[in-house]
Chain A
Amino acid sequence: MRNFRLLAALCAAVSLLAAAPARADLNVVTTLPDLAAITKAVGGDHVQVQSLALSSQDPHFVDAKPNLALALNRADLLIAIGLDLEIGWLPTLQQGARNSKILVNNPGFLNASQFPRILEIPQGKVDRSLGDVHPGGNPHYLYDPRQGLAVARGITERLAQLDPKNAADYRANLAKFSDEIEKARAGWEKRLAGMKGAPVIAYHRTTAYLADWLGFQPIAFLEPKPGIPPNPSHVASVLAQGRQRKARMLLIESYYPDTTAKLVASKIPAPIVTVHGGTDFRAGETYIQHIEELVGRLEKALAGKGD
């Protein structure tokens, strides 16, 4: 009996110790740092936010490290991009986390892809001969701040649902965020007016939403098919198209190898724009700052200067 009490006391001490750091009202884990930054913007001090992936990381291929399952174990809410972007790693973590709250279809799981307007939903029969195609549509919607705002609205509602006593604060934060992003967007659109109709080459099919927002034309991709690395004949044809259509710039995410992209850009010639794959949330960057940074790079490229 005494042993049992000792054990009970020990367990209590350990769980207290482990529970101590979580002072915020909601512990939110997001798959990508962009989602973390948006959640922090609308959650404020009431939420503690952590992103599973880093902004420097390719979100398609994240290692299901056990410590990430540990983060999910203690989460009240898991927010994912959806559209199968995280299919290769998130299910393992969700199952290993032993937290039924954050399993799909529970209130503690939010698939953010239900909020934006999804582009590039494949028509007809989809199979993997198309490469790494996402049957639900293109998942890279957070490059468009309008979609970012839609996602922020959805996250706010879920936070308010899970933590009703702070609902008013979440909505107030959203109003502020919405004001800021709309104001910033007017400026961004003015600065990037020259992008309208501009022919642009990209590495991966991540440009759909950016193109939809800014009105440029993605004419070719260095990857012959999504997820298939560039090969010489395809690169040659991209270069030919780039020259013929007078591509204004070449976009590549910071997590892709850039030697080929640099070569093609220099041969067209067109400036190369390295797009940061996500908000550097860990360093304290906000989603608006991340888009601002992207806009700055595009603006420079419009002026003919690369990175």
Chain B
Amino acid sequence: MSTVSRRPSDALIVVSVVTLLSTASAAAQEPSPPAEATPPAAEAGTPGEAPPAELSPEELEEIQKALGSDTQEAQQNAPSGTASAPQSTPGGNTLAVPGLNTSGTNFLDLSLVLDVAAAAFTAKEPLQTGGHDPTRNGFNLQQLELSIGSVVDPYFRFDANIVFAQFGVEIEEAYGTTLALPANLQVRAGQFLTRFGRLNATHPHAWDFVDQPFAVGRVFGGEGNRGLGTEVSWLTPLPWYVELIGSATDAVGEGTARSFLGASDERVLSPLDLQLTGVVKQFFPLSDNLSLLWGLSAATGPNPTGHRNRTDVYGTDVYLRYRPITEASTTLVTFQAEGFYRRRQVPGDVLTDFNAYAQAAWRFSQRWATAVRYELGTPAKGEGGATVVDPLDPDWTEDRQRVSANVTFWPTEFSRLRLQGATDRVGWQQSPEYSVFLALELVTGAHGAHAF
């Protein structure tokens, strides 16, 4: 990889972005225009241009002005058809891709995750709510997920998760993430899982159980809360980790926004017809070995039961992780809990209910772990406090509780076998139901990076 001079098209992008951003905070932002305009030093250690010594505000202004007139000139010289994207030279010997990969020329990280399970249920119609859950006796294809990740240019990263089921293909996620916004901001746009709570934004590969807690499926839908939209997140400059996230997504989808517009197909007339989500995440490194992540989430959006009727969901999640790193150890103990409080306006009433799960997992050797989970879902209550019929789940008239336990074996970090048993105490049914899963996961392709 070598240092390469910028092509006019690049300069154009740089200039427009720089002028856009620098008007707001020319002084606050480190990469001042001249530094931005020089090509980044290549990986081979070619020293890039030294950053400029202190410049006076007047000089910065002059540079901006000069860049501004260059932009105009470049626009005049630009070909009339602007539809085509700037061509990159084939062979990839132009701008070194600022990927997050550290070796090789790799423009696209591809990986495939296969989840299959053998399942047995005592129930005739198992009440599994997750889109990737085993749902019938015998063999189940939970998902075949194709993950694609790549850096688009110095300003964007692209990620997609495309899920193949037995009878179709689904774009689970496909979004861009900004890489170089100032002021600790990051924007995602496209189709994505919202950051509501802890589990929602994750994929089965990161789960401690074969199936999804029923809370997620009941409140948001089998696929978890996601949608087409945009998200802004801000890492606050506080001394500890505090991240604020806000997103606006479309409120439709039986599997992704069932408490909101769900399957109904209403037209968006105002921003209030979208689902708005707000999240605060805080992280506390209690010691080298013990850490705590705590989140507060809220989502609001329209529901189809009447004009201006709304649904609000409030949630909190805690994740406590104990992993000794100050001595040789393979131990990992985690505790994770989430609660969802849902409030729905329906004609003549306001329905409220509560769903939660709490789980503990213990990795007791390099390859083995065990985990247990408790779940609770209450029936919908009206304003008077009496149980009422839930229009989404008319059967749900009593508490439902489920307890699951499992043992996991990882031959390597790329394969996983999991045996899980559960008992489902469904209040509105005569007797408890039982289920057993044996699930296999295989991960192949590019080595993914794990989120915390």
Q: Which residues of A contact B (CB under 8 A)?
A: 14-15, 17-19, 54, 56-57, 63-67, 69-70, 73, 80, 82-84, 86-92, 94-98, 100-101, 103-107, 111, 113-115, 128, 131-132, 135-136, 154, 157-158, 161-162, 164-165, 227-229, 254-258
Contact = CB atoms under 8 A, between A and B. Distances in A.
Given A87-B102, A88-B413, 16 more contacts: A14-B236, A57-B325, A63-B321, A84-B102, A88-B448, A96-B235, A103-B98, A103-B100, A106-B40, A106-B41, A107-B48, A111-B102, A128-B444, A164-B51, A165-B53, A258-B328
Interface string B322-335: 01011110100000
11 contacts: A15-B237, A17-B239, A64-B449, A65-B285, A65-B452, A69-B235, A84-B103, A101-B30, A104-B43, A154-B45, A157-B45
10 nearest A-B residue pairs (beta carbon) = A91-B100, A100-B180, A66-B283, A91-B449, A105-B98, A18-B237, A66-B241, A136-B103, A92-B449, A57-B325
A64 B103 contact: no
Contacts of A56: 325-328
B328 A256 contact: yes
B184 A54 contact: no
Contacts of B44: 114
A114 B367 CA distance: 34
- Give the secondary structure class of B's interface: loop
Contacts of A90: 100, 102, 449
Interface in B1-49: 1, 30-31, 40-45, 47-48
Interface of B: 1, 30-31, 40-45, 47-48, 50-51, 53, 96-104, 154, 157, 177, 179-181, 184-186, 235-241, 243, 281, 283, 285, 288, 291, 293, 321, 323, 325-328, 330, 366-367, 412-414, 444, 447-452
Contacts of B448: 88
B101 to A, nearest CB: 7
A82 B102 contact: yes
A105 B103 contact: no
B451 A64 contact: yes
Contacts of A80: 102
Contacts of B184: 73, 98
Most chain B CB neighbours (cut-off 10 Å) among A84, A104, A254: A104
A96 B47 CA distance: 27
Contacts of A17: 239
Contacts of B100: 90-91, 94-95, 103-104
Given A73-B184, A92-B451, A228-B412, A135 B31 contact: no
A94 B157 CA distance: 12
Contacts of A107: 40-41, 48, 51
Contact of B325 (A54, A98, A101, A164): A54
Most chain A CB neighbours (cut-off 10 Å) among B1, B41, B104, B327: B41
Given A66-B241, A114-B45, A88 B450 contact: yes
B111 to A, nearest CB: 12
Contacts of B285: 65, 67
A105 B96 contact: yes
Contacts of A162: 51
Contact of B449 (A54, A73, A88, A106): A88
Contact of A63 (B30, B238, B243, B452): B452
